Amino acid sequence: MAAAAFDQAHADPDPVAAAEARTFYEFLVPIVKGFSTEMSLEVTSLGVQVHGGMGFIEETGAAQYYRDARILTIYEGTTAIQANDLIGRKTARDGGRSALAILARVRATVTELKQSETLAAIATRLEQACDALEHAIVFIAGAAKSDPRAVYAGSVPYLMLSGVVLSGWQMGRAALAATHQLAAGEGDATFLRTKLGTVRFFADHILTRASGLAETVVEGSAGTLAIEEANF
Q: Cα separation of 210 and 125, whole Å?
A: 10
Q: Which stretch binds ligand FAD (CB under 6 A): 43-51, 72-80, 92-100, 174-182?
A: 72-80
Residue 216 burial by CB count (10 A; 0-12/13-18/19+): exposed, middle or buried?
Answer: buried
User: Among 59, 75, 184, 229, which residue sits at the site for ligand FAD (rule: CB under 6 A)?
Assistant: 75
Q: CB-based contacts of 54: which residues, under 8 Å, 6+ apart?
A: 60, 62
84 lies in the binding site for ligand FAD (CB under 6 A): yes
Among 20, 76, 186, 215, the active-site one is 76
Q: Which is nearer to ligand FAD, 13 or 75 (CB)?
A: 75
Q: Cα separation of 30 and 76, whole Å?
A: 9
Q: Which is nearer to ligand FAD, 147 or 186 (CB)?
A: 147
71 lies in the binding site for ligand FAD (CB under 6 A): yes
Q: How far is the CB of 78 from ligand FAD (least distance, A)?
A: 3
Q: How far is the CB of 192 from ligand FAD (least distance, A)?
A: 39
DSSP 148: H
Q: Which is nearer to ligand FAD, 23 or 216 (CB)?
A: 216
Q: How far is the CB of 48 from ligand FAD (least distance, A)?
A: 21
User: Among 54, 74, 121, 177, which residue sits at the site for ligand FAD (rule: CB under 6 A)?
Assistant: 74
User: Among 2, 32, 41, 81, which residue sits at the site for ligand FAD (rule: CB under 6 A)?
Assistant: 81
Q: How far is the CB of 23 from ligand FAD (least distance, A)?
A: 24
40-47: long-range contacts (C-beta < 8 A, 24 or more apart)?
40/69, 40/72, 40/73, 41/66, 41/69, 41/70, 41/72, 41/73, 43/69, 44/68, 44/69
Q: By CB under 6 A, what part of segment 195-224 binds ligand FAD?
A: none
80 lies in the binding site for ligand FAD (CB under 6 A): yes
**136 to 82, 87, 139, 144: CA distances (angstroms):** 17, 10, 5, 12
Residue type (1 letter), 72: L
The reply to whether 117 belongs to the active site is no
Q: CB-based contacts of 107: which residues, under 8 Å, 6+ apart?
A: 127, 130
Query: Interface residues with ligand FAD (CB under 6 A)?
Result: 71, 74-75, 77-81, 84
